[in-house]
């Protein structure tokens, strides 16, 4: 069986795993005060061009989003997000559980439009009853989005400017950041991300780590007392150095970047394969998630050899499916997918 | 200056006030354990045809909604509501502050459609990832809605049936319930409300009380331990009998119903006045809130003599305004409004 | 039956009630934006000697405490309070419901000791694991305390200095503030209170109002965006001017002060009455709550003519009882109590 | 340098690590739906003698406590715990952040006394104002406690009976459960734990896993909908099988038990070493944490060769220190500690 369900089906990239094994017996202090974690933080700050940033490591995306957002918002504020944003849909109410409303903006292939963001903020403060409403206290976007799409540099810059003019911090969920940076026709660098937003996280779980997300705080005014908040959110790993060790492996060489490139290239090959057979993509994704619109009988026949996810409910004749590549995906697996498709 | 801004601009209806004055010097135990409160609860249960209902009195609408909803929902659940629902928009995030997401449904003149409610619930449980999403744990609707509209008996019955088939309690926000029951062409009685929903509240603040909302719990499985929750939400009035005394005044005779009829009739007269002048209503409201679409120059000239609210941002040429009647509104005030309109 | 159960058994002081009746028919904007409320705020600022303070009116003590404390604390902080503090015991978890821990200090007749406060703060920051613990973010004290006791000026000054040296706001719960200011041997003025703390509230419910508490914010750095937080906590009264009107009545003349003096004097007479009969007070309270240690048979015989509260569980032979005076208490009621006591 | 700071300084036990390495490349579905996790759950149910228990795996202790407690408590309830309980002190307010008060009981060498528990519950319901207070909704105890002590079978049985008579679920924090089961003179088995409580967790992080805690729910009435709550608390690991794989390694053979025995034996040897030198233990701990009362000059000379934690503030002449053993501790390290002690 070929697996294209998602990018967190296997363990760690061999180079990451090797580091964990090599350091396994060493004894260090807990909770991220060890030298591995400090070194990993330095590597990330350098990669971001932000020597004064603060870097913290958490274990998963939902907990990272909940902790960061809870830490930034004042009690009367909510977080702006696309209605398709991960926090809006698939985090089981983690943001609301910490007391905050998600203020949804329309989504366009997963993206927020700068114009609609500006309109929301302007309308809010021009409403006489705004003090009875939840004030927008920050913006959450994902890069790449839940649909695999990316923002251009100009789009991101415009959004960033609107946020900062309105004194609204911009937070980027980078669960799959490597795949955004490696995307076809991408114009945004890691340093751009670090420049344009106030806080973001570099996803490890979906990019070669066993688990782990690195929060990078570039705006010095935000998230003081983040450590106790991580603890309060149950997001503080006792053996914190496990996170440091893994991010060292990802950032000491160019491993994080390389995984991004290899994984995206394989996804684009899959996309082209489907397009060449006359099928259509639902969204024009340049990253490692591909959404294909397939006839149900093709889906059923494919499913005998290949695992993948239906995206939304099954249609009468056609259904959208998602193909995702990860660091384990090989060219020969795609060759095999191609042969299977040829037989259908 | 004539005031049509809202229905909570004056104090209490004279009969309600008289009771407060007459009982002012009496000494009773606090927190609603007094005889006035017990009697008021009995009167309400009788009016609802629900001898086994439990009745609690709180002071305001937002706190009532927050306390009831927090009390009903399990930790992993959210509350379904129209996107225009008061809890969705104008309660400053009170629901989310208690840890729960508001799951919004489209609104149609303020109303939820049964078909869309059913579709939401069906889609939720047919989604493979539903355990990563917030489960619908109850439905909130307002009667009348924030746009002054009402549900017909059949509409309410269909919604109620869908809820109960899905094991989702139905909660009705009756901040202006008297005006819904007195609405033009209304087919729903207080007993119907009590029959069709699991919990609702009878609004006093906007119907002749100084303040006060009566929560009626008809589903015996819900809201055990509601008293400590009222206290926890800061919604427990020390001199609780003030609420009992007022609701006694409203329900011992037909005062609550009568206020409803008189106030709605005056609003309909205002509506007809505007229609007769060739203006249009934005929503076909049969209750005490009327939304009229007026040219800006008419608005400006009216505003010299009459106070009312703009509904949403001022348009380029036309703007929606809201006219509301209350227990203080007199026929002569409407006569005066008519003469002013005649001069414009 | 004579009532000495508590100080919120009757309605409003006649002068307060008269104002409510006189203004009942007037129409004003809601939510405290009216002229009565503004005027009441001015009167209070003047009485406090704090022209730049901000004043807000809420309806009850628990909701006031919850809203103020939630508004001051950062997410990783808790509130220091005596273990006997109202927020620690009798608010049904309202503080925790907003996400914050109460960090308890020992109580001495209801009071916090400056030395123990300082020790707590010092120990906290000298503990290596302090970032895993809840940081003290403010101090809550009540004046007078739940046992009717008061702080001397010097005690309050010392506590205030410790707080401010540690950058910890001091908040005073003044539910019965009038009775503290009128206490026997009191050395603290309203202006002292306003000087020494950062936020406090002037209780109305127990001092002649139907309901209402006035929050006075003297530290300009605190509680920005307090209005939406009041709304979020369900503590915003629609007919907000009812609060303004009542506090106008209490502060336009010296009514608030006078009620305090009269009520305390009657309580002291009750205390002296019991002492003259050879009974003992449990706490040396100079305010309107008196805690007397009585033989159970005296209690049972008294209870046929007088209502009062047992304070804690009934003992084998002796039990602590509480006698409270309020604005309705008359000298002739105490004469009657005296005759009853004489017969026992 | 010898390390006796804590039991989470190294990575995973070699047998656990080997499993992670061996399964690293396999692809499985996420979030714990894989076969490894199912198998691990079966092994644990068998070990507990509870075929009908439900087992869930989370990554750390604080998040496990917060998720379980939040899931069990109703909104108006709090959790009883020793004042020294981990949730009371060292979880940065995680329980309160989910809206619940911790109701503290006195601690006796870290343990709760059955008599005081019973007294608390009895007093609560005999207090007339109990509905204004936070109701005890469950009991949290740790086994072994934060001081390394254990409950005897009889003590645990008595506590369990009191809880169940009062309809209060009993939850046991087993972060170091293996060391309690292996304790000197222990009379409690894993099956006893499973029998006597309603929910408990088997700690992996401190007993040979990289991370991971197994929640065992033996009371079928509790924690329905636990999966979405895990997600909501940010405690759901994407690569969930990592937890299953590790607990398979711990429970397929007797590894969990063996680690417990070996680690405790080494701690007892350390204890005896100090006792033989004439030093005193502060608490009579039969598990892997030893609290020794040492002269400051001994501490300073030891600290040149050995790392360990001061327990509380440094005293004038003597200070309490903690020595902890873990799966990495060897006999030769203790030999070395002995030689160092001999030279002091």
Write the CATH number for A267: 3.90.1150.10
C160 with C245, same domain?
A: yes
In terms of residue numbers, what domain contains D280?
A: 2-7+256-343
A71, A76, A229: residue with CB nearest C232: A76
A230 with A286, same domain?
A: no
Q: Which two tokens stand for residue B11?
A: 């104090």
D306 with D229, same domain?
A: no
Cα→Cα distances B148→A259, B239, B287, B300, Å: 57, 33, 5, 24
D29, D60, D232: residue with CB nearest A93: D232
pLDDT, tens digit, 9 for 90 and up, residues A194-250: 999 999 999 999 999 999 999 999 999 999 999 999 999 999 999 999 999 999 999
**pLDDT, position A136:** 98
A25, A63, A67: residue with CB nearest D10: A25
Residue D313 has pLDDT above 90, yes or no: no
D189 with D326, same domain?
A: no
A30 with A78, same domain?
A: yes
The predicted model gives B47-59 an average pLDDT of 98
The predicted model gives C306-318 an average pLDDT of 92
Domain end position, chosen among C253, C273, C288: C253
| Cβ–Cβ gap B10/C30 under 8 Å | no
Domain end position, chosen among C253, C283, C300: C253
pLDDT, tens digit, 9 for 90 and up, residues B322-332: 999 999 999 99
pLDDT, tens digit, 9 for 90 and up, residues A112-149: 999 999 999 999 998 889 999 999 999 999 999 999 99
Report the mean per-residue pLDDT for chain C: 97
**pLDDT, position B313:** 82
The predicted model gives B144-161 an average pLDDT of 98
Residue B128 has pLDDT above 90, yes or no: no
D183 with D108, same domain?
A: yes
A317 with A203, same domain?
A: no
- Tell me the pLDDT of chain A (344 aa) as tens digits: 899 999 999 999 999 999 999 999 999 999 999 999 999 999 999 999 999 999 999 999 999 999 999 999 999 999 999 999 999 999 999 999 999 999 999 999 999 999 999 999 999 998 889 999 999 999 999 999 999 999 999 999 999 999 999 999 999 999 999 999 999 999 999 999 999 999 999 999 999 999 999 999 999 999 999 999 999 999 999 999 999 999 999 999 999 999 999 999 999 999 999 999 999 999 999 999 999 999 999 999 999 999 999 988 888 999 999 999 999 999 999 999 999 999 98
Minimum Cα–Cα distance from D99: chain C residue: C97
D310 with D233, same domain?
A: no
Q: What percent of chain B has pLDDT over 70?
A: 100
Residue C269 has pLDDT above 90, yes or no: yes
Question: Is A131 an 8 Å CB contact of chain C?
Answer: yes
More confident residue, C1 or C251: C251
Beta strands in C59-169 (DSSP E): 77-82, 102-105, 135-142
| Cβ–Cβ gap D101/C102 under 8 Å | yes
pLDDT, tens digit, 9 for 90 and up, residues D112-168: 999 999 999 999 998 889 999 999 999 999 999 999 999 999 999 999 999 999 999
Question: Is B337 an 8 Å CB contact of chain D?
Answer: no
Taking the CA of residue C213 and the nearest CA in chain B, the distance in Å comes to: 12
- Please state the pTM of the whole predicted model: 0.97
Tell me which chain B residues have a C-beta less than 8 angstroms from the C-beta of C28: 9
Question: Is A102 an 8 Å CB contact of chain B?
Answer: yes
Tell me which chain B residues have a C-beta less than 8 angstroms from the C-beta of D229: 75-76
CATH number at residue A101: 3.40.640.10
| Cβ–Cβ gap B93/A102 under 8 Å | no
The predicted model gives B283-294 an average pLDDT of 97
A210 with A263, same domain?
A: no
pLDDT band (50, 70, 90) for residue C126? confident
Alpha carbons within 13 A on the beta-carbon side of A330: 5
β partners of residue B267: none
Tell me which chain C residues have a C-beta less than 8 angstroms from the C-beta of D90: 129, 132-133
Q: Which residue has the tokens 């507990």?
A: D48
Question: Is D227 an 8 Å CB contact of chain B?
Answer: yes
**pLDDT, position B196:** 98
Domain end position, chosen among B232, B254, B276: B254
pLDDT, tens digit, 9 for 90 and up, residues D249-279: 999 999 999 999 999 999 999 999 999 999 9
C33 with C137, same domain?
A: yes
Tell me which chain D residues have a C-beta less than 8 angstroms from the C-beta of A67: 234
**pLDDT, position C194:** 98
B25, B66, B238: residue with CB nearest C234: B66
D286 with D163, same domain?
A: no
What's the total number of domains in chain D?
2
**pLDDT, position A126:** 87
The predicted model gives C114-130 an average pLDDT of 94
Torsion, Cα of C165, C166, C168, C169 (10° steps): 0
**pLDDT, position D314:** 87
B105 with B200, same domain?
A: yes
B25, B210, B235: residue with CB nearest C328: B25
Q: What percent of chain B has pLDDT over 90?
A: 97
| Cβ–Cβ gap A76/B89 under 8 Å | no
């Amino acid at each position: 069986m070929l697996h294209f369900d998602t990018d967190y089906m296997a363990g760690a990239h061999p180079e990451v795993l090797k580091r964990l094994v090599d350091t396994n017996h060493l004894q260090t202090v807990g909770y991220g005060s060890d030298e591995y974690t400090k070194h990993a933080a330095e590597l990330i700050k350098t990669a971001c061009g932000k020597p004064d940033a603060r870097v913290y490591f958490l274990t998963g995306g939902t907990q990272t989003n909940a902790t960061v957002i809870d830490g930034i918002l004042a009690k009367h504020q909510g977080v702006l997000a696309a209605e398709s944003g991960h926090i809006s849909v698939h985090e089981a109410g983690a943001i609301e559980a910490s007391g905050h409303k998600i203020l949804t903006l329309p989504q366009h292939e997963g993206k927020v439009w700068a114009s609609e963001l500006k309109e929301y903020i302007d309308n809010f403060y021009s409403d006489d009853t705004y003090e009875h409403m939840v004030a927008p206290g920050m913006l959450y976007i994902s890069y790449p989005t839940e649909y695999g799409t990316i923002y251009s540099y100009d789009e991101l810059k415009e959004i960033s400017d609107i946020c900062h003019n309105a004194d609204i911090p911009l937070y980027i969920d980078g669960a799959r950041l490597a795949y955004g940076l490696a995307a076809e026709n991408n114009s945004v660098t890691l340093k751009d991300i670090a420049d344009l937003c106030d806080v973001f996280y570099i996803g490890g779980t979906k990019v070669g780590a066993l688990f782990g997300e690195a929060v990078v705080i570039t705006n010095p005014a935000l998230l003081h007392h983040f450590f106790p908040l991580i603890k309060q959110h149950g997001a503080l790993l006792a053996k914190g150095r496990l996170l440091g060790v893994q991010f060292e492996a990802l950032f000491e060489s160019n491993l994080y970047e390389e995984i991004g490139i290899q994984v995206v290239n394989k996804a684009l090959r899959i996309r082209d394969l489907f397009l060449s057979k006359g099928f259509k993509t639902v969204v024009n994704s340049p990253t490692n998630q591909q959404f294909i619109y397939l006839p149900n009988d093709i889906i059923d026949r494919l499913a005998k050899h290949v695992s993948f996810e239906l995206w939304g409910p099954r249609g009468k004749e056609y259904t959208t499916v998602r193909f995702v590549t990860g660091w384990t995906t090989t060219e020969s697996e795609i060759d095999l997918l191609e042969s299977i498709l040829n037989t259908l």
